Structure 1
Amino acid sequence: MLIRSPFDIPSNHHEWGLQEVGARGPSSRGNLLAGVPRSIVLMVIVLSINNFAFGYLMVYISAYLPEIGVPATTVGLMLGMEGLTMAVMAIPFGIISDRKGRKRLLITGSLGPFPMFLAFALTTDAAVMIAASALGGLFEGVYLATVNALIADQTAPEDRNVAFTLSFILGGAGSALGMAFPFFLPELGILLGIEKAALHAGLLYIFALISLATPPALWSILSGVKESVRGSPGAWRGKGLGILFKFSGINSIIGLGAGFIIPLIPTWLYLKFAVPDSFSGPILAIANATIGLGAAFSPKLASKLGSVKAIVFTQGLSLAFMVALAFIGDFFTAAFLYVIRTGLMNMASPLMDAFLMGIVHPEQRGFASSLNSVIWRIPNSITTIIGGAILASGNFELPFLVAGGFYVVGISLFYLVFKDVKQVG
C-alpha cells in the first residue's frame, strides 16, 4: 500500500509563511516554508490523512492476518502483488502525467482506495485480498506519477528539499498514526463489546467511506494550480535518460534487498516473538515518527554535506542496526534497533526524491518518478514474496543478512556514480 513512505500544522497559514498558488518567495526570510505554495502544503495534508488509513491497512495485512491463520507466503504475495501492479502501471501513468497534466490524473486515481478498503472489509478470502492489493498498487502508481512531479513543478530549486521534507514528514505522520491505532483496539473492543474481527471490519468500512472525500478535496485544492503544456509525445525519451537509468538501477539494488524483510517486519515479529498487531503496529508507528523527526533535519544535513554525501551517510549508518536485528533474541531490543535503523535509513528519502527531480528535466519528472519507482519495486516485490516464504520456513536470520549485502552494494555504487553529478534545475 501507499506507505512512504510519514504533526500538526497551524491553521494560520501566514504563520508558516505560506504562499498563494504558484507564488515564489526566498526561503532565506526565516520561514522554512516561505517558498512552498499553499496548494502544495494542503495537498500534502490531504494525502497524509489518506495515509492514516493505509498505515492501518499495512498493519492489518502484515500483522493481523497472520494472527488469524493467513500464511506468511500469502501475506508476502499480497504485498508483492501490490508492488508489481504499481510497477506495471506507473510508467504509463508517468507518461500521461507529463503529457496531459498531473492534477486530473491524481484526482481520478484517488477514487481507487474506496473499493480496495471495501474488499478487505467484506472478506478474508485470499484471492479477493490479493486482487484488492493489486488495486492498491494502481493508486500508488498514480500517486508516484503525480505527487513528486507536482511538488517539483510548483517549487523553486532552492525550496525543493524543504517541500519534499514536508511531504515526507506529514505523510509519515499519517502512516504512523494509522499504524499505532491497533494498539487501542483491545480496549476499544471491550468498551464497545465487539470482537476483534468485527472491529477490524468496521474500521475498514469507515476508512472506505472517508476515502470518498479525497477526490473532491484534491479538486478544490488543485483547481487553481496552473500546469504548463508538456513536451511532445517523445520528449520523455530525450536527453537525461542515461542518468535516470543509472539512478534507478542503483536504487533498485537497495529495493531488492529491502524486499526480503522490511515489508514483512510485523510478520517477523509475530512469528519470532508472538507479538500481535496491537504491539507491532505501534512499533511501526514509532519508527515512522522517527523518520519524520529525522527528515526534518535532512535539508540542513544536505546543505552541510551535499545531497549525495548526506544520503550515503544516513543510509550507511543504518546498516549495522539492520544486520544486528538478525541476532536479537528479545522483542524490546529488536523493536529499539528497528526504530533506529528505520529513522537513519529513511532520513535520506526526501533528499533522494529532491535529488532525482533535480537531475532530470522538468518535462521528464512524472516519467522519472514513475520509472524510478517501477525499477525499485519490481525486484522489491519479488523478494518480498521470497522473504515471506523464508519466514514461513522458520529461518528468521537469513532475510536480514541478504538484505544487508544488497544495501552495501547499492549505497557504495550510488556514491561512486553520483558524487560529482550536478542538478539541472
Structure 2
Amino acid sequence: MAKLLSYTMKQTPQFIARFTHYNRNTKILIFGSFVVGIVMSIFGFTASLYLYALGYTTVEIGEIGAVSMATTAIFLIPAGYLTDRYNKKKLMLLGASLNSVFLLLYVLPAFPVLIFANILGGIGNSIVMPNISALLAENSNSDNRKFVFTTNALMNQIGNALGTALGGVMPDLIKNTSFGSIILGFQFVFIIAFFFTILRLASIFFLDVKQTPTERKGMLIPGSWKLISKFALTQMLIGFGAGVTIPWFQIYFKIRFDASYTSLGIAFFATNVIMGISLLIMPLLAERKGSVFAIIVTQALAIAVLVAIPNTDVFLIAVIFYIIRSVLMNIANPIVNAFTMSVVPANERGAATAMNTLAWNATWSAGYYVGGYVISQNLELIFYITAVFYVLYITTFYIFFRKYDDAKKNNLPSRINIT
C-alpha cells in the first residue's frame, strides 16, 4: 500500500497537468461524472437495503432492480442511433431529467411506483450513457484519450466515495433521532440525491455541442458490426456475472454478519477511495504493457479474491477481500472504454456504446433477477456463479483482442480491420 501511495503521489501532478489542457466540454463532462458518482452511489448503495428494510424479499428486490436495467437495454439501441444523428446536448438534458424524476419517486414505497420509477430511470440512462462516451471521445484525441477516460472515471469514483459515505451514515443518524426511522433516513438520502441531479442538469446547459451530420443507410457498417459484436459478447458475459453478485453485496454483509448501515457505508467508502487512487495507475500500465494486458491481469486477480469472500467468517476480512476485488475488477473499466472508443470509427461511437451497454445491461438485469432467487436459497452460491462468468469474460476478451494491443504506444489504431 505504501508503494502504491508513493507511486500515485508521483503521478498525480501528471494528471493535473493534463487536466488543465482539457477543453471546456471535457471539464464539464468530467464534473457531471463527479455529480453522477454521488447520485448513483447514494442510490446504488442504499436501494437494496432500503427495499430490504421495507420488507421486500430478495426475489422482489431482484424484480424491481432488474426492471431498470431491462428498460435501459430495450431503449439503448434507438438511443445510440439518435446520439449519432441528433443534438447530444438536448438528448442528455432529456435523459438527466428523467433520472431526476426517477430518484424523487423512490421515496414512495409502493411496488407499482417503484416499478414505474425504475422504468423512467432506465429510459434516462439509455439516453445519457451513449452520449457521455461519444462526447468524451469527440473532445479527446488518440494521445490523451486513455487519460481523459481515466480522469472521468476517477472523478466519478470520488463522487462514489462521497455518495456511499452519505448513504451509509445518514440513515443511521436519522434513525437515532427522536422523530426518525431507518426508512425515513433512506428516503432523506434519496431527496439529497435528487438535488444533486438538478446540479448535473444545470451543468449540461454549459456544453457547446456542434452536431456533425452523418449519412448512412443503416445503423452500423458491416466492418463495425463485426467488431462491435465481439465487444458486445464480452460485455454480455461480464454483465451477467456482475448482476448475479454485485448488487447483493450489501444484503450479503447484512445477513451474513449483521453489519450496521454505518459500517457498510464506511467499507464501501474505503473501497471507492482506494479504487480512485488506483485508477491513476491504469493508463500508465496500459501504455507500458498494453491495454489488453492491463485488463486481463487485473481482472484475473479479482476473480481469485472474489471466491475468497464467502470462505471467511470474519466481517473485517470479508470487507478487505471485497475492497481488493472491487479495485482490481473496476480500475480496468476506463481502459476498456478508451480502447473501445479508439478502435471504433468516430461516427459509430454512439451506436457502439449503445450496443456494449445494451449487452451489459440486458445480461446484468437477468443476473440481478437470478441472483435474487439464488441468494434466497443459498447465500454463498452467487460468488461461484459470478467467478465462472468472469473467467469466460477474460478468456474471450483475450482471444478476441490480443492481436490488437497497444503496448509502448501513445495511441491506438483508428480502426481494427476484421478478418
Residue in structure 2 matching 1:126, options 111, 129, 141: 111
Residue in structure 1 matching 2:251, options 237, 262, 267: 267
SS at match of 1:179: helix
Q: Does the CA contact (< 8 Å) of 2:33 and 2:153 recur in 1? A: no
Is 2:351 aligned against 1:354? no
Q: Does the CA contact (< 8 Å) of 2:62 and 2:368 recur in 1? A: yes
In structure 2, what is the equivalent of residue 389 of structure 1? Answer: 373
Offset of residue 353 of structure 1:
0.2
CA distance, structure 1, for counterparts of residue 19 and residue 199 of structure 2: 26
In structure 2, what is the equivalent of residue 7 of structure 1? Answer: none
CA distance, structure 1, for counterparts of residue 304 and residue 85 of structure 2: 43
Q: After superposition, where does 1:300-315 map in structure 2 within 5 Å?
A: 300-315=284-299
CA distance, structure 2, for counterparts of residue 201 and residue 254 of structure 1: 32
Give a deviation string over 1:205-239, Cα, whole Å, max 9, x none.
3433442343232112x1x3333223334253343
Q: After superposition, where does 1:243-282 map in structure 2 within 5 Å?
A: 243-282=227-266
Taking structure 1 as reference, are residues 237 and 50 closer, same or farther at Cα in structure 2, changes over 3 Å only? same
Residue in structure 1 matching 2:127, options 137, 142, 150: 142
Offset of residue 116 of structure 1:
1.1
Amino acid of the structure 2 residue aligned with 1:268: Y
CA distance, structure 2, for counterparts of residue 344 and residue 324 of structure 1: 14
Taking structure 1 as reference, are residues 348 and 50 closer, same or farther at Cα in structure 2, changes over 3 Å only? closer
In structure 1, what is the equivalent of residue 327 of structure 2? Answer: 343
In structure 1, what is the equivalent of residue 391 of structure 2? Answer: 408
Amino acid of the structure 1 residue aligned with 2:119: A
Amino acid of the structure 1 residue aligned with 2:312: I
CA distance, structure 1, for counterparts of residue 44 and residue 219 of structure 2: 37
Q: Does the CA contact (< 8 Å) of 1:56 and 1:178 recur in 2? A: yes
Q: Does the CA contact (< 8 Å) of 2:158 and 2:273 recur in 1? A: yes
CA distance, structure 2, for counterparts of residue 271 and residue 337 of structure 1: 17
Give a deviation string over 1:293-344, Cα, whole Å, max 9, x none.
2111111000111111111111111111001112121211111100000001
Offset of residue 371 of structure 1:
0.3
Q: Does the CA contact (< 8 Å) of 2:161 and 2:268 recur in 1? A: yes
List gaps (5 residues or longer) in structure 1: 1-15, 18-26
Residue in structure 2 matching 1:371, options 355, 361, 364: 355
SS at match of 1:111: helix
Q: After superposition, where does 1:17-166 map in structure 2 within 5 Å?
A: 31-33=17-19, 35-121=21-107, 123-166=108-151
Taking structure 1 as reference, are residues 130 and 278 closer, same or farther at Cα in structure 2, changes over 3 Å only? farther
Taking structure 1 as reference, are residues 362 and 61 closer, same or farther at Cα in structure 2, changes over 3 Å only? same
Amino acid of the structure 2 residue aligned with 1:107: L
Amino acid of the structure 2 residue aligned with 1:218: I
CA distance, structure 1, for counterparts of residue 145 and residue 246 of structure 2: 28
In structure 1, what is the equivalent of residue 413 of structure 2? Answer: 424
CA distance, structure 2, for counterparts of residue 35 and residue 234 of structure 1: 37
In structure 1, what is the equivalent of residue 5 of structure 2? Answer: none
Residue in structure 1 matching 2:162, options 177, 191, 194: 177
Taking structure 1 as reference, are residues 102 and 342 closer, same or farther at Cα in structure 2, changes over 3 Å only? same
Q: Does the CA contact (< 8 Å) of 1:50 and 1:214 recur in 2? A: yes
Taking structure 1 as reference, are residues 233 and 213 closer, same or farther at Cα in structure 2, changes over 3 Å only? farther
Taking structure 1 as reference, are residues 30 and 173 closer, same or farther at Cα in structure 2, changes over 3 Å only? closer
Give a deviation string over 1:126-154, Cα, whole Å, max 9, x none.
22212212222112212211001100011
CA distance, structure 2, for counterparts of residue 210 and residue 253 of structure 1: 33
Residue in structure 1 matching 2:189, options 203, 207, 211: 203
| Bigger shift: residues 81-90 or 99-108 | 99-108
Taking structure 1 as reference, are residues 234 and 35 closer, same or farther at Cα in structure 2, changes over 3 Å only? farther
Amino acid of the structure 2 residue aligned with 1:362: A
CA distance, structure 2, for counterparts of residue 299 and residue 39 of structure 1: 21
Q: Does the CA contact (< 8 Å) of 2:94 and 2:124 recur in 1? A: no
Taking structure 1 as reference, are residues 404 and 74 closer, same or farther at Cα in structure 2, changes over 3 Å only? same
CA distance, structure 2, for counterparts of residue 207 and residue 58 of structure 1: 11
| Bigger shift: residues 332-341 or 132-141 | 132-141
Offset of residue 161 of structure 1:
0.3
Moved over 3 A (4+): 187-193
Offset of residue 57 of structure 1:
1.5
Give a deviation string over 1:178-206, Cα, whole Å, max 9, x none.
11213332235546743332233233234
Taking structure 1 as reference, are residues 207 and 408 closer, same or farther at Cα in structure 2, changes over 3 Å only? closer
CA distance, structure 1, for counterparts of residue 285 and residue 16 of structure 2: 17
| Bigger shift: residues 168-177 or 334-343 | 168-177
Amino acid of the structure 1 residue aligned with 2:114: M
Q: Does the CA contact (< 8 Å) of 1:61 and 1:75 recur in 2? A: no
Q: Does the CA contact (< 8 Å) of 1:95 and 1:367 recur in 2? A: yes
Amino acid of the structure 2 residue aligned with 1:178: G
Amino acid of the structure 2 residue aligned with 1:208: F
CA distance, structure 2, for counterparts of residue 219 and residue 364 of structure 1: 25
Offset of residue 382 of structure 1:
0.6
For normalisation by structure 2, the TM-score amounts to 0.89
In structure 2, what is the equivalent of residue 187 of structure 1? Answer: 173
Q: Does the CA contact (< 8 Å) of 2:173 and 2:185 recur in 1? A: no
For normalisation by structure 1, the TM-score amounts to 0.88
CA distance, structure 1, for counterparts of residue 38 and residue 20 of structure 2: 27
Q: Does the CA contact (< 8 Å) of 1:180 and 1:283 recur in 2? A: no
Taking structure 1 as reference, are residues 51 and 293 closer, same or farther at Cα in structure 2, changes over 3 Å only? same
List gaps (5 residues or longer) in structure 2: 1-11, 406-411, 415-419
Q: Does the CA contact (< 8 Å) of 1:286 and 1:339 recur in 2? A: yes
Q: Does the CA contact (< 8 Å) of 1:173 and 1:289 recur in 2? A: yes
| Bigger shift: residues 350-359 or 277-286 | 277-286
| RMSD of aligned Cα (Å) | 2.2
Offset of residue 101 of structure 1:
3.3
Offset of residue 91 of structure 1:
1.0
Offset of residue 64 of structure 1:
2.9
CA distance, structure 2, for counterparts of residue 250 and residue 203 of structure 1: 35
